[in-house]
Amino acid sequence: MERRAQKKLGVEPSLLGFGCMRFPTLEGGAIDEEQAMAMLDRAYQSGVNYFDTAYFYHNGKSEAFMGRALARYPRESYYLTSKLPTTLVHSLEDAKRIYAEQWERLQKDYLDFYLLHNLNGARWHEMLDTGVVDWCLERQAAGDFRHFGFSFHGSYEEFREILTARSWDCCQIQLNYMDTEEQAGLKGYRLTEEVGVPVIIMEPVKGGSLAAPPADVMDVFTALRPQSSASSWALRWVASLPNVMTVLSGMSTMGQVEDNLATFNAFQPLSEAEQAAVEQAAALFRQKVRNGCTGCRYCMPCPAGVDIPGTFRLWNDWAMYQNRDRARFKWRDMDEEERPKNCVGCGACEEKCPQSLSIREDLVRAGEELEKL
């Protein structure tokens, strides 16, 4: 198993990390512990030593399950990460209460990594203003956890502010070959290299959207590596970045475990030809978009309340990846008042659109297609 030694931190985590948010489940939603234990055992026995959980995962059941599962292994043989759910923390008392609950669930003397979960600019300032950051540093000094970092979902500008605000041990960002300009993006990754903060990668396969690409995309990959899965290409792309400490994969089946082990047990960074193939694949994906919305939001606010860029982003993602479950979830998560059916056809948006899109016509098409998911 490939490992990335972090001399500054004194750790040597496996390049493949086990994300503990997508275990197989039983009818009703509970973790299928028998299957999940078998998957964890297979990964651990093959050299995976980094396990990532959080307060929210599996409706709050992941931490307790991982506490029991990892109790079967020598404590010094693995790295365990959990996270403080900043969306629930609005005071120091909130943080202390949730923190105590996490330790009760995990049943561990210490954690290797503890992260502020799902930070953006506003939540970062709230954690500072409420004293949560200083309190976490006190808990680190007391030995509760060895390394302190944050996971991030926000803009590059917010990421830069947080990353450079203090000396972090690590950070966790979303990155894959299709999301190079989303959130922190590649620009944010390059910044981590400059400041010397190791990176943990989440969503390397874009929530599964890059695991089963259309035939023309897959043909690009199989021309060079006929036996390799699409997921392995996505994982190798991000794992080829030198400042990446660990790549998280939320595995749901033993087949996914085996495929990922095959990728990382004999890990090979992308060659120049393979890098070019990934760029070609990304270009093919982007050719499938329904319209050219850039998300600039010049069309907003819509007088009728329609989320125009949100609708087009979902529509284009569905067209590119054909990930029905993911698209259906996001469509159902959109407020009824923001859906394209509420368009009154006033045309105010089209007057402001720098791309000269036929927004009214496209909203009709998008609504018809998304309603069928």
Q: Could you tell me the CATH number of the domain that includes residue 108?
A: 3.20.20.100
Domain around 335: 308-371
Same domain? For 114 and 74 the reply is yes
Residue type, 22: R
Q: How many other CB atoms sit within 10 Å of the CB of residue 142?
A: 9
Q: What are the angstrom distances between the C-alpha of 268 and each of 49, 89, 235? A: 19, 41, 11
Same domain? For 177 and 89 the reply is yes
Residue 123: inside a domain, yes or no? yes
Please identify, among 280, 300, 329, the residue that sits at the C-terminal boundary of a domain. Answer: 280
Same domain? For 70 and 207 the reply is yes
Residue 293: inside a domain, yes or no? no
Residue 10: inside a domain, yes or no? no
Residue 241: inside a domain, yes or no? yes
Same domain? For 223 and 331 the reply is no
Same domain? For 200 and 331 the reply is no
Same domain? For 315 and 261 the reply is no
Residue 313: inside a domain, yes or no? yes
**C-alpha–C-alpha distance, residues 134 and 138, integer Å:** 6
Same domain? For 356 and 273 the reply is no
Q: How many other CB atoms sit within 10 Å of the CB of residue 207?
A: 18
Q: Which stretches of 170-214 are DSSP H helices? A: 185-195
Residue 2: inside a domain, yes or no? no
- For residues 199 and 225, is the Cβ–Cβ distance under 8 A? no
What pairs with residue 200 in β-bridges? Answer: 172, 246
Same domain? For 335 and 211 the reply is no
Same domain? For 165 and 313 the reply is no
pTM listed for this prediction: 0.86
pLDDT tens per residue across span 196-225: 999 999 999 988 889 989 899 999 999 999
Structural domain total, the chain: 2
Q: What percent of the chain clears pLDDT 90, i.e. is strictly above it?
A: 87
Backbone φ and ψ for 338, nearest 5 degrees, come out as -95, 0
Residue 301: inside a domain, yes or no? no
**C-alpha–C-alpha distance, residues 204 and 247, integer Å:** 7
Residue 4: inside a domain, yes or no? no
Same domain? For 95 and 153 the reply is yes
Write the CB contacts of 34 (distance below 8 Å, at least 6 apart in sequence): none
Same domain? For 218 and 353 the reply is no
pLDDT digit of tens for each residue in the chain (373 aa)? 999 999 999 999 999 999 999 999 999 889 999 999 999 999 999 999 999 999 999 999 999 999 999 999 999 999 999 999 999 999 999 999 999 999 999 999 999 999 999 999 999 999 999 999 999 999 999 999 999 999 999 999 999 999 999 999 999 999 999 999 889 999 999 999 999 999 999 999 988 889 989 899 999 999 999 999 999 999 999 999 999 999 999 999 999 999 999 999 989 999 999 999 999 999 999 999 888 888 888 899 999 999 999 999 999 989 988 889 889 999 999 999 999 999 999 999 999 998 889 999 999 999 999 999 8
Q: What stretches of 102-169 adopt beta strand conformation (E)? A: 111-119, 145-152
Same domain? For 240 and 362 the reply is no
**C-alpha–C-alpha distance, residues 353 and 297, integer Å:** 8
